[in-house]
Amino acid sequence: MYNFHFVYILESILNPGNYYTGNTSDITKRLSKHNEGGCPHTAKFRPWHIKNYFAFNSKEKALKFEKYLKSGSGREFARRHF
């Protein structure tokens, strides 16, 4: 059985245009934690919905992709394509 790792982009429902990028192995549980206010970086822009997510079969690849999406060129790539 595969153990997937996800990179996700959240968008604030009440403040469209506010995004957060993260990674997890349980995307449903992680979204719930963001929406419950359990994450200081996202608490003030709750509630969130998943705008995009990407599944990887390697945690290392997921972390590299997350790091890329958080870079200047990665944010521009996401803005243009997602």
The three-state (H, E, C) secondary structure of 3-59, written as one string: CCEEEEEEEECCCCCCEEEEEECCHHHHHHHHHHCCCCCCHHHCCEEEEEEEEECCH
| pLDDT reported for residue 56 | 97
Topology (CATH) of 5-81: GIY-YIG endonuclease (3.40.1440)
pLDDT tens-digit series, residues 59-74: 999 999 999 999 999 9
The model's pTM is 0.93
Band the pLDDT of 1: cuts 50, 70, 90.
Answer: low
Band the pLDDT of 2: cuts 50, 70, 90.
Answer: confident
- CB of 70 within 8 A of CB of 21? yes
The domain segmentation of the chain, as residue ranges, is 5-81
pLDDT tens-digit series, residues 30-69: 999 999 999 999 999 999 999 999 999 999 999 999 999 9
